[in-house]
Structure formats: C-alpha cells, structure tokens
A = this chain, B = another copy of it.
Amino acid sequence: MKLKPLGDRVIVKVLDAEEKTSGGIVLPDSAKEKPQQAEVVAVGKGKTLESGTVETPDVKVGDKILFGKYSGTEVNTGGTDYLILRTDDIMAIVS
C-alpha cells in the first residue's frame, strides 16, 4: 500500500533526534520557528503556476530535508507515521 502525493505535495518520514550524527544538525532550543529533519519518501509532480507551467520539485526520494515544525498533515500507513508537506514548506536539503 502506497501513497502518491498530488501537485506540490511531498511525503516525508520525520527523522528521530537519534539519527543525527555527532557533527550534524542541532536544532536550537530557542528557535523562533524550529525546523525539523525528515527523509523524502514520495514526491508529487509539482505546483501548477497560473501560466500553466508545472514547477518541478527540487527534492527527490531519499533526500534529507529541513522543514518548519508546524507544517504538514500527519498520516500513518503500515504502522509508520508520515507527514504530507507542500514543497514550499521545505527549507533546505541536508547533505
């Protein structure tokens, strides 16, 4: 059973704090809006602009990303929690 996100939506799996490496991303306690890390598991076709052009998403399956903490909609499939984001909620790719 799979989820195929539509339009500018992206499905991600939120990464546990434990997955961060020693030299990795540390999210500050006092951040105004705390970003979180996640791994991309599915990507929609992209946002359709008013001109009719489809804007291809800048992320692909397997990318680790940063997103705003209060973004997205939670969903659970096969016992695993996922989050459905819009591409504009994704701030950066972590590499």
Q: Which residues of A contact B (CB under 8 A)?
A: 1-7, 9, 11, 21, 23-28, 30-35, 42, 45, 48-53, 55, 58-59, 66, 68, 70, 73-79, 81, 84, 87-88, 90-95
User: Is the CB–CB distance between A24 and B50 below 8 Å?
Assistant: no
Q: How far is the CA of A31 from the CA of B35 in the complex (A)?
A: 18
| A-B contacts besides A6-B90, A7-B58, A84-B92, 5 pairs, CB < 8 Å | A23-B78, A24-B78, A28-B74, A42-B92, A49-B52
User: Is the CB–CB distance between B94 and A2 below 8 Å?
Assistant: yes
User: Is the CB–CB distance between B92 and A6 below 8 Å?
Assistant: yes
Give the nearest-CB partner of A25 in chain B.
Answer: B77
Q: How far is the CA of A84 from the CA of B90 in the complex (A)?
A: 11
Contact partner of A93 (CB less than 8 A), chosen from B6, B31, B32, B94, is: B6
Give the nearest-CB partner of A32 in chain B.
Answer: B74
